[in-house]
Amino acid sequence: MRLPLGLVASGLWLLVDSRVLLAAEIDNTAVELAPLIITSPRSNARWLSTPAAVTVVEAGTAPGEQNLALDTWLARVPGVFSLNRYNLAQGLRPSIRGFGARGNFGVRGIRVLVDGVPLTMPDGQTELDGLDLGLVERMEVLRGPASVLYGNAAGGVLAIETREPSVLPSMQLDLSAAGLGYQRTRGEIGGSHGNVGGLLAFNSTHLDGYREHGRAQTNSLTGKLNWYAPAGRLRLNFNAIDNRAEDPGGLTATQVDADRRQAAPNNLRFDADEYIRQQRLGLVWDGYAAGADQYQLRSYWGHREFGNRLGFTTSGQTTFDRYFGGVGGQYSHYRELIGVPHKITTGFDLEAQRDDRRRYDNLFGERGQSRQQQDEAALSQGLFIEDQLDLTKKWQATFGLRYDQVRLAVDDFYLADNRNDSGSRRLEDWNYSAGLSYRFTPQQSLYARLASSFETPTISELGNPQGGGFNSALQPAQAFSRELGIKGEWPSLRYALALYRIDLDDELVAFSLPAQPGRNFYRNAGESRRDGLELSLDWQLADAWRWSVGYAYNRYRFIEYEATAGDLAGRHSPGIPRQTLFSELAYEHQGGYVRLGVTAQARVYANDANTQSAPGYALFNLRVGTRMQLGEQSLEPYLGIDNMLARAYFDNVRINDANARYFEPGPGRTLYAGLRVLF
């Protein structure tokens, strides 16, 4: 099925000319888009002058969201594609320019930071299950290779900033409910006294799910404590979660036709699910040095308990007990050399994790015989330097270099198979970037960028299909990116256009075995190429009207790839649609708001051979709410409708499933309502 993008575009222009949303008097006060400043923890610069594709999303532009997953924020960023909103056992799976699409759960190939502290594990994997979306204030999305500043991140960076403690004592309560058995209770208190500020937030969400065996319960507790001093700011962040979710699994095309809401039979038979308990503590010092110089020191520590049950017997249950932590820092020095202003940033990262992993037989939901016991460790070390040069008032250049070393090791304690699968892998790489920006008018700039990056397999991805230990044949992926772009920024309009090509060696590709459905293994594709175009537009049409657009065209394909299915050269990379579109028309006046948006995508191939695919679709979504002041209390009732036209679509596609269980159907029309109270 081809995606009717022409029809969607016609509908969008109709929305722009429409006056049926609300008839209201427009305020005479002018509304302007403030100039964007990129405040990512490792590189501060004005968006217009930055020679890179960066998108900033702020909470104020998207009121009334359900906040079930981060995909509603990411949908407006071109080049970012997300799957798996509703299966909380697998977690949201975002990708940037194709990086991250390979896994069936969690985030891969993307570096994620929350308030300057890495959420990404030392081996490169990230889970978003501990993030309280009600606290998120701003998110910067760097699209393209980011290894120079961030290390093991081939696809890009998500830098998330959460709410700071308020100056005055405050309390917030947010209650919401929806179809699919959704209920959420969220509370928050905060305030400051002198030079100390604190915040504490609790969030509890229950979801029955669209499909059978899809129930989930998530609980999180987040705390922040800030101390402000003349020499800088000290931030202490704490987060704890206790989550449990059932996994309905993927379906074959025949099963989807028979009943979209059924669970995979084996997932029911073996009671497939997972639980997670995790605690994280982060400490960051943002300091002021001589002159305009700045520096940051950061550290974090955490503990994660995990267990799951998959839909098969042998090694069908997994548990691990993980300890992880890291330290890092950078210093930014401003000086003038040969008449040219420089900002030189140098820094380091040192991170480690250790897992006690065990596998057991799954006897229809009960724990059976032990099949594996091993300790797994990852140690990541990196050094980097970047120089930003203001060559003239119109020209800016950026150069960067980084060295990384990642050591992955396994100690095998399982003796029943009479062999020792202990071993280690040491992976190291140098990466560089060079960017040039030219301001050809005060409001517009052109830029070009070259960058290399690398991406190591995570510990779980190094799993050996033949048994314990590591898959010694699996290599890290290497990427080289070339990018051209143009940006513009006026008081009422902001746009960006980027063209890029990425050449990859040893791209990491997921596959599964018929006897172990739901568990992924990995192999390397020889050579791949990704060509793309990304367009974004943010236009303040009038004082109360705003139009946002994000469009991406992706041509991703294998150049050299020999697999068990044969020669796959020329086939499209699975998991990423050829085209994606987001558009939203928003009206906001005197506290009331209405937002009507559409997310659309072309079909998604489900396997490397391109013989199976999920059809394209367009989903229309509506958000309505108002902010009212009653004495000292602020009330915000809000209402949302997802998939207004009740289109049949797939919420997730499981890549290269050996049993052709590729598809996870998404729900039809879904209504939610909530009330936010601020004391």
Instruction: Work out the burial of residue 303: count CB atoms within 10 Å of its CB; fewer than 13 is exposed, 13-18 middle, 19 or more buried.
Output: middle
pLDDT in the model for residue 21:
32
CA 12, CA 539: separation in Å to the nearest integer? 14
**Could you count the other beta carbons within 10 Å of the beta carbon of residue 381?**
17
User: Between vectors from CA 75 to CA 73 and to CA 78, what angle results, nearest 5°?
Assistant: 120
Q: Measured between alpha carbons, how far is 332 from 292 in angstroms, rounded to an integer?
A: 9
pLDDT in tens, 62-101: 899 999 999 999 999 999 999 999 999 988 999 999 998 8
Domain count within the chain: 1
Contact 665, 252 (CB under 8 A): no
pLDDT value at residue 2:
41
> Residue 216: which of 237, 245, 188 has the closest Cα?
245
Q: Which of 642, 599, 666, 404 is nearest to 12 (CA)?
A: 599
What pLDDT, on the 0 to 100 scale, is given for residue 141? Answer: 94
- The β-bridge partners of 160 are 114, 139
Closest CA to 214 of 271, 130, 270: 271
pLDDT higher at 202 or 107: 202
Q: Which residues contact 339 (CB under 8 A, 6 or more apart)?
A: none
Q: Are strands 136-143 and 156-162 parallel, antiparallel or unpaired?
A: antiparallel
Tokens of 40: 């990512």
Distances (CA, A) of 388 to 38, 344, 492, 629: 14, 6, 29, 46
Contact 647/670 with Cβ under 8 angstroms? no
**Considering the domain boundaries, does residue 602 fall inside one?**
no
* β-strand pairing of 566-567 with 562-563: antiparallel
Residue range 602-654, pLDDT digits in tens: 999 999 999 999 999 999 999 999 999 988 889 999 999 999 999 999 999 99
> What is the C-alpha to C-alpha distance for residues 254 and 399, in angstroms, rounded to an integer?
53
Overall residue count recorded for the chain in this entry: 679
Q: Does 189 map to a domain?
A: yes
- The values of phi and psi at residue 571, to 5°, are -75, 150
* Statement: residue 116 has pLDDT above 80: yes
pLDDT at 1: 38
Distance in angstroms (rounded) separating the CA atoms of residues 212 and 441 = 57
Percent of the chain at pLDDT exceeding 70: 94
Residue scoring higher pLDDT (385 or 16) = 385
Dist CA 5 CA 14 (whole Å): 14
Lowest mean per-residue pLDDT among 153-162, 250-259, 443-452: 153-162
Of 231, 235, 233, 261, nearest in space to 248 by CA = 261
pLDDT band at 20 (very low <50, low <70, confident <90, very high): very low
Q: pTM, whole model, 2 decimals?
A: 0.91
Reported as a pLDDT band with limits 50, 70 and 90, residue 377 is very high
- Assigned domain for 258 exists: yes
Report residue 15's pLDDT band, with 50, 70 and 90 as the boundaries: very low
Q: 330 pairs with which residues across the strands?
A: 296, 347
Question: What is the identity of the amino acid at 281?
Answer: L
Q: Mean pLDDT over all residues of the chain?
A: 90
Q: How far apart are CA 466 and CA 516, in angstroms?
A: 12
DSSP 323-347: EEEEEEEEEEEEEEETTEEEEEEEE
Element (H, E) at 14: helix 5-17
Query: Residue 635: inside a domain, yes or no?
Result: no
| Cα separation, 549 vs 405, whole angstroms | 40
Average the pLDDT over each of 125-129, 196-200, 237-241, 489-493 and give the range with the smallest value. 125-129
Is residue 553, in this structure, part of any structural domain at all? yes
**Cα separations (Å) of 385 from 149, 296, 527?**
8, 14, 29
Which residue do the tokens 């759960």 mark?
Answer: 105
* Contact criterion met (CB below 8 Å) for 218 and 94: no
Helix, coil or strand: residue 414: coil
Instruction: Indicate whether 28 pLDDT > 50.
Output: no
What percent of the chain lies above the pLDDT cut of 90?
A: 76
Q: Give the pLDDT confidence of 423-478 residue by residue, as tens digits.
A: 888 989 999 999 999 999 999 999 999 999 988 888 888 877 776 678 888 889 99
Least confident of 230-244, 250-264, 500-514: 500-514
Residue 24 — pLDDT band, cuts 50, 70, 90?
Answer: very low
Residue 223 tokens, joined: 């705390």
Parent domain of 78:
33-562+652-667
Residue 403 lies in a domain: yes
| C-alpha–C-alpha distance, residues 399 and 385, integer Å | 8
Structure confidence at residue 22 (pLDDT)? 30
Q: Take residue 570 and report the two structure tokens written for it.
A: 């020329």
Radius of gyration of the chain (CA): 24
Cα separation of the two ends of the chain: 50
678 falls within a domain: no
Closest by CA to 320, choosing from 151, 474, 125, is 125
Q: Is residue 589 part of a domain?
A: no
Supply the pLDDT for residue 14.
32
Query: Tokens 């209504």, residue?
Result: 671
Pairing of strands 444-455, 53-58: unpaired
- What pLDDT is recorded for position 504? 95
Q: Residue 469, SS3?
A: coil
What pLDDT does residue 19 have? 31
How far is Cα 591 from Cα 29, in angstroms, rounded to an integer?
15
CATH number at residue 133: 2.40.170.20
SS3 382: strand
Give me the phi and psi of 433, to 5 degrees please. Answer: -150, 150
